Chain A
Amino acid sequence: MARPPKTTKTSVPEAPTLPKAPTGIPGLDEITGGGLPRGRPTLICGSAGSGKTMLAAEFLVHGAVEYGEPGVFMMFEENAEELAQNLRSLGVDLDKLQKQKKIAVDHVHIERNEIQETGEYDLEGLFIRLGHAIDTIGAKRVVLDTIEALFSGLPNHAVLRAELRRLFRWLKDRGVTAVITGERGEQSLTRYGLEEYVADCVILLDHRIVDQVSTRRLRVVKYRGTEHGTNEYPFLIGKTGISVLPITSMRLDHVANSARISTGIDGLDDMLGGTGLYRGSSTLVSGAPGTGKSSVGASFVDAACRRGERALLFAYEESSSQVQRNMASIGLDLGQWERQGLLHIDASRPTLHGLEQHLVHMYELVRQVKPSVVVVDPISNLSMDKDDRALKPTLMRLIDYLKQQGITALFTSLTSDLAADVADSQVGVSSLMDTWILLSNLAGNGERTRTLQVLKSRGMPHSHQVREFVMGNKGVDLVDVYLSGDRVLTGTARISQVAQEQAASDLRRRDHERRIKELASHRKAIDAQIAALHAQAEERAGEVEFAIERERLHAEGASARSRAIAQSRDVPPPRPRLPVSAAPKKTSRKAAK
């Protein structure tokens, strides 16, 4: 029936000057710095269906249940049963609260056609009813929903206006914190100009349909005597009632974690200082269609599950089973993690809700699943309108929320293939991100290759190189690109360049071998030549010796013959000639050589 007291309330600073009555609506108390002005009337205006009654009812119920301030709900349009039904849808048991005297309900109904007017009158009856209800339960809060209905019920508006002025004065005098709802008018905030009477705090609710998607917004138009957030804040009416999403509560006070976790891609971890991302950081992976964003996301999720952590994957393009099938093709078995309860894949069409609705859905799931990593694939699909300025604040809120929970987040973002300007960061969220990884396609040589670069990564050294991103059946990995001269080669260009250089060095090696062989054979030829010459020389030497021998023998024979002739003639023999002894000397020198 009642929501547990919210812990965030304790952090709301209480303005000392102006006492405030907390609404108990998440976010609204932060915007208003603690709630609505206590003891004064607040006007809530908006068009039909903008959530006025809901906000007023929540204000009352929270007051009655959580802050010990009973309240009177005086309604002019719905009856008690309808209100009870509406509140039951939020888990509030109005009957029980009424029995406990925490809430009093009074339905004021005026049938125009059964009323005649003659002469003077005032609305003392209304005052008496309200006063009676307040006194009965000791109410501190009052809701008048929608008091403007009186304008159609009572013909004399002059009297009515005077009485309304008196009513608001009277409410102040009674010291009750009042919420008055009013229908949005064409020119003014309310159709009958109630803002003239309720000057302390005016909250405007808006319900817009942009591109067939509805968004609720809330703005504090004025809040006398206190500072307040002046922006338009999206709000939702969810299962637990209204929640307003103030932009990050304008705080940046999350605790930075210095622990690092792997991205699931070894090469990417290397690029990020070798150890991956900081825990609790947020990462943007942007790229054109087909650059592998989802695969990076899936790897990240896979790595988390592998560590035994819980992961939450928001898929806005594919159904859960399609994600699993497709990731199985690169060797990531996400199904096992889902069966083990580690992975929760939430697949929905982005058009299912408005942006804020998505955000609240995310909040709810994050609260439920309590993941350590969250992947949103892709954020750019969350809004149909590419120029949706709401996307950035919405993401900012999500990122801050995740950071405060210490959840590491990875967002993918689709960029146009032709987007030449990478700094034009898709949805303008890159500044919110701690790490920005850009995936891009390089076209050339009749093919496209995927490349990855880390554009920024806060607080860690990271590689400035472009790496080639390959998806195999064993997951995603990075390959060093080939730097050839001043060119960066990827894909088949890289492969062919590698092959070319390989071939070139092969050739060189063979050339060397050939030259060495050639040298060897050349040497051999020379050796052979030397041997041949040697042999030739031997041969010559032999011939020479032979000739000398023959000449010597010839000479000896001649001398013997002449001696024999001399003996026979008894003539003394002549002395031997010099050349005979010199000849053997010459021969021996040649042989030695």
Chain B
Amino acid sequence: MNARVSASRPAGRVAKPAAAQEKPVAEWQLRLYVAGQTAKSAAAFDNLKRVCETHLAGRYTIEVIDLLVNPRLAAGDQILAVPTLVRKFPEPIRKIIGDLSNEERVLVGLDVQPAR
């Protein structure tokens, strides 16, 4: 499983350090693509963090990729819109675009069972 995930990444790709990286292999691997430190990207990160802490506490990693810094990474995950949240694992890959302000839709999009 782990091998497959890393194999899907192009060689020589440098990921930004994840914001919450307690475990080497998390059950939920999420990646958030943003373009610069805009209000929208900040909102998206905050929203995502809140949802994850609420429903996936301790079982997730979030990798934030700033496309302004690493523009070449946009093609790999077919990113057009920002912010885009990509659920890399568990498969299949799912994408949620927008600032993730609607918690319900984020949960549906990530296919996460609400904790309560």
Contact = CB atoms under 8 A, between A and B. Distances in A.
B101 A119 contact: yes
Interface stretch (B19-27, B53-61, B76-84): B76-84
A114 B102 contact: no
Interface stretch (B1-9, B10-18, B66-74): B66-74
B105 A117 contact: yes
Nearest to B81: A121
Given A115-B96, A132-B74, A121 B106 contact: no
Contacts of A132: 71-72, 74
A446 interface: no
B106 A122 contact: no
A71 to B, nearest CB: 17
B99 interface: yes
Contacts of B95: 114-116
A108 B80 contact: yes
A387 interface: no
Counting chain A CB atoms within 10 Å of each CB, the highest count among B75, B81, B82, B99 belongs to: B81
A289 interface: no
B75 A121 contact: no
Contact of A123 (B81, B92, B93, B94): B81
B33 interface: yes
A119 B75 contact: no
Question: Could you say which interface size class chain B belongs to?
Answer: 20 to 34
Most chain A beta carbons < 10 A, residue from B43, B72, B97: B97
B78 A110 contact: yes
A125 B81 contact: yes
Contact of A125 (B74, B105, B108): B74
B32 interface: no
A486 interface: no
Given A125-B33, A125-B67, A117 B80 contact: no
A299 B102 CA distance: 85
A454 B109 CA distance: 82
Contacts of A108: 78, 80
A150 interface: yes
Contacts of B93: 114
B71 A131 contact: yes
Contacts of B96: 115-118
Contacts, number: 97
Contact of A122 (B72, B82, B92, B94): B82
B78 A119 contact: no
A143 B74 CA distance: 18
Given A119-B99, A121-B84, A129 B79 contact: yes
Contact of A121 (B47, B78, B82, B92): B82
Contacts of B90: none
A361 B29 CA distance: 59
A114 B106 contact: no
A116 B108 contact: yes
B98 to A, nearest CB: 4
B79 A125 contact: yes
Contacts of A109: 78
A117 B97 contact: yes
Contacts of B82: 121-125, 128
Contacts of A106: 75
B64 interface: no
A116 B71 contact: no
A421 interface: no
Contact of B83 (A121, A153, A154): A121
B101 A118 contact: yes
Interface of B: 33, 35, 40, 43-44, 47, 67-68, 71-72, 74-75, 78-84, 92-102, 105-106, 108-109
Leading 10 A-B pairs by shortest Cβ distance? A116-B109, A132-B71, A119-B98, A119-B99, A119-B101, A125-B79, A124-B35, A118-B105, A118-B102, A116-B96
11 contacts: A109-B78, A110-B80, A117-B105, A119-B43, A119-B44, A120-B98, A124-B67, A124-B81, A125-B74, A129-B75, A132-B71
Interface of A: 106-110, 114-126, 128-129, 131-132, 150, 153-154
